[in-house]
Structure 1
Amino acid sequence: MGFVSFVGRVLFASIFLLSAYQEFSEFGSDGGPAAKSLKPKLDLFIKQVSANIGMGVPHIDIKTVIASTMFLKAFGGLLFIISSSFGAFLLLVYLAFITPVVHDFYNYEMESQQFVQLFTQFSQSVACFGALLFFLGMKNSIPRRHSKRRAAKAKTT
């Protein structure tokens, strides 16, 4: 059972690790293609949040956002492979913040092809989020193993 669990964690984390590696290899002085595709979506998201809360949101450098997401995916994925709850938490943080920005299906008409593609990708991210929550729940519900040594009994005379 331990080997199968390890392989499952490696396969699940490979989604995040390969994505982080691709962004890292394409990261240039401008942040690479990830920055170019994320910038308009992030600007629109910030504009909508600012309008809804009635306050301005400070400027966020897109290269910092891309570097932060690379770190969360890579470090979280590596820690997740070794069955770390902290790694799962880092991946949860990544998905919670990036999913509504990147997969902004709510900005398109329901009949459009963009809506269908973005909603499908959004659903996949939500499924990964749920899988991470399930992992954390199962990890915390399994009792810790205690050593098999028994405590020495006190001698009675």
Structure 2
Amino acid sequence: MIHLLRYHEFGTDGGPVVKVLEPKLNVFTNLITVKSGIKVPEVNTKHVVVAMIVLQGLGGVGFIFGSYLGAILLVLHQLLFTPILYDFYNYDAEDAEFSQLFSKFTQNIAFLGALLFFIGMKHSISLRKPRKTPKAKTS
């Protein structure tokens, strides 16, 4: 699985993550093309891995410090990469891979829901804060 692979072995060729992600990305882009009729542009898998690392790294650090932007970056990561990484839809329900991938997929969807809740709470808290209004000067 992708989450078990080490990103520090990225190197010049993208490392083992690219080798695992490339077939999943190809299947996903073909599925999108077949179902929607829209041709997905070809993307270098190495760039996808870099985007995953950046979104997850910056978003995670920002989220730890309570940043709204950090949560947004993590939401973007979840929306873009969860369907690619956990492609349970390519397996039969009886396969062992199906149950493992579906379990991880639902965990990531739950995490996405928690992130959206966090963003909603941050937004509602900012709306509740009283805004300072300048006092009118009396002569």
TM-score (norm 1): 0.77
CA distance in 1, matches of 2:130, 2:62: 21
Q: 1:54 aligns with which of 37, 42, 46?
A: 37
Q: 2:107 aligns with which of 120, 124, 127?
A: 124
Q: What corresponds to 2:129 in structure 1?
A: 144
Q: SS where residue 41 of structure 1 aligns? A: helix
Q: Where does structure 1 differ by over 3 angstroms across 4 or more consecutive aligned residues?
A: 150-156
Q: How many residues align?
A: 133
CA distance in 1, matches of 2:23, 2:70: 29
Larger Rg belongs to = 1
Q: What corresponds to 1:113 in structure 2?
A: 96
Q: What corresponds to 1:33 in structure 2?
A: 16
TM-score (norm 2): 0.86
Q: 1:101 aligns with which of 78, 84, 88?
A: 84
Is 1:69 the counterpart of 2:45? The answer is: no
Residue 55 of structure 1 and its aligned partner are, at CA, apart by 3.5
Could you say what the CA RMSD is over the residues aligned between the two structures, in angstroms?
2.0
Query: Could you report, residue by residue, the CA deviation over 1:44-94 in whole angstroms, capped at 9, with x for unpaired residues?
Result: 001111112224222110110000110001111111122111110110000
Structure 1: tracts of 5 or more residues without a match: 1-18
CA distance in 1, matches of 2:53, 2:38: 29
